[in-house]
Structure 1
């Protein structure tokens, strides 16, 4: 089964070279062939855990008169918001979405945070020559609002929002749509995300699925989805890419092309 041989995740202090050394030869070869890297947004590039849980804590008592543990509130994050609310109450899903978004917009800028080192990692991946894309189940409005807070928008060649596809993660359609727009091939692409939905979508799309364990999901839930590569910290990403390109120093590929922080 693909992803099953990834082995025990290295500790957060491990280098990208250590992560690369632990991978099966087939996975290392695929990493060396990469020219496109796609990213999830919430929980991968930005830390929205407190924003999301606070909005749920406000919404469910107000609309349904119930309170639930945080781990239950966030267990379906990564799916479109309406789908998450339909799980709580199909008949009141629209009202749940309205109240949630009302709270989320009000507190968005004060509760969202950038993961330390995330922007630097993205910039280094671009400067190494990789095409980059964002694939999220979040709305265009709120995703762009978060991106602009941290000047992230120029670091992506393509962005796929909830409105851009009819199917959503864990379905592979958003990942495939990003590749279509960026002219990427699944066999030469990777998708990095923190949720089981990201890993499932990536695997179904035929790209390398890379788990970002710095997000809010329990480690075992993410690993159970079968990622090809497991990263403990955002700092391991550029180190992994540097180690990969160093291993193919005599081959042509992304390492020979320099990309600046411009977005088409």
Structure 2
């Protein structure tokens, strides 16, 4: 079946930003007098709501952490860059007639600023960010909202991401799914949980994506 749309996650999929999230949490926790190592942040903060993190530490509230985390993200993401082939892959999709969307739970103010700075915002037909919907991934709402905006049937779209929530959201919405899993992501993710989501494809390099999307090979 010919694909009509490619839906991309942002963090860890188009930009190697997972270390930046670690740094943002460290900046936020420092405001509460907590010096957290990378491993501690990964154990206590990653893939958790701020309210849950607040319960673990007991020295601040979820809303207080949200405020400081946003400040930390704005500082850390000044260093955000794209993966080497990310720009080319998104452009390749557009050049061959696919609609493109960015489907992320990261804050809109943060994401749009980074996309503009990196000169890739105009490569997307639609962008949906945290706060634009009532339910975040793994709920299908962000994906179904993007599909509606692109006027694309779920079966003709591929949800591409690096996290279990990306794959679960895509599957719940009825799209095909592709999990980005390079070796250096293994310290950020529970690999068994990733495989348990049952992605249709797993890839380790962006130059593999055109074939998964039934497009011609990407010419570097």
Distance in 1 (CA, whole Å) between partners of 2:159 and 2:169 is: 9
Distance in 1 (CA, whole Å) between partners of 2:10 and 2:27 is: 23
Tell me which residue corresponds to 1:145.
113
Distance in 2 (CA, whole Å) between partners of 1:104 and 1:34 is: 34
CA drift at 1:73:
4.9
Q: CA RMSD in A?
A: 2.0
CA pair 213-142 structure 1, distance change in 2 beyond 3 A: same
CA drift at 1:62:
3.0
Aligned residue for 2:105, secondary structure, equals coil
CA drift at 1:224:
1.7
Tell me which residue corresponds to 1:62.
31
**Cα pair 1:139 1:163 within 8 Å, conserved:** yes
Tell me the alpha carbon deviations over residues 9-67 of structure 1, each in whole angstroms, 9 at most, x when there is no partner. xxxxxxxxxxxxxxxxxxxxxxx321111010011011112211011122224327363
TM-score by length of 2: 0.86
Tell me the alpha carbon deviations over residues 76-98 of structure 1, each in whole angstroms, 9 at most, x when there is no partner. 0xxxxxx6211111560111111
Tell me which residue corresponds to 1:257.
none
Distance in 2 (CA, whole Å) between partners of 1:51 and 1:75 is: 12
Tell me which residue corresponds to 1:174.
142
CA pair 92-209 structure 1, distance change in 2 beyond 3 A: same
User: Which residue of 32, 44, 49 corresponds with 2:18?
Assistant: 49
- 1:161 matches 2:129: yes
Tell me which residue corresponds to 2:62.
93
Tell me the alpha carbon deviations over residues 98-152 of structure 1, each in whole angstroms, 9 at most, x when there is no partner. 111112212321x212111110111111111111111010111100011112111
CA drift at 1:212:
0.9
CA drift at 1:217:
2.6
Distance in 1 (CA, whole Å) between partners of 2:44 and 2:96 is: 38
Count of equivalent residues:
206
Distance in 1 (CA, whole Å) between partners of 2:76 and 2:34 is: 22
Structure 1: which 5+ runs fail to align? 1-31, 77-82, 247-264
Structure 2: which 5+ runs fail to align? none
TM-score by length of 1: 0.72
Distance in 2 (CA, whole Å) between partners of 1:212 and 1:74 is: 21
User: Which residue of 184, 208, 212 corresponds with 1:236?
Assistant: 208
- 1:75 matches 2:40: no
Aligned residue for 2:202, secondary structure, equals strand
User: Which residue of 177, 184, 196 corresponds with 1:224?
Assistant: 196
Aligned residue for 1:227, secondary structure, equals coil
**Cα pair 2:23 2:76 within 8 Å, conserved:** no
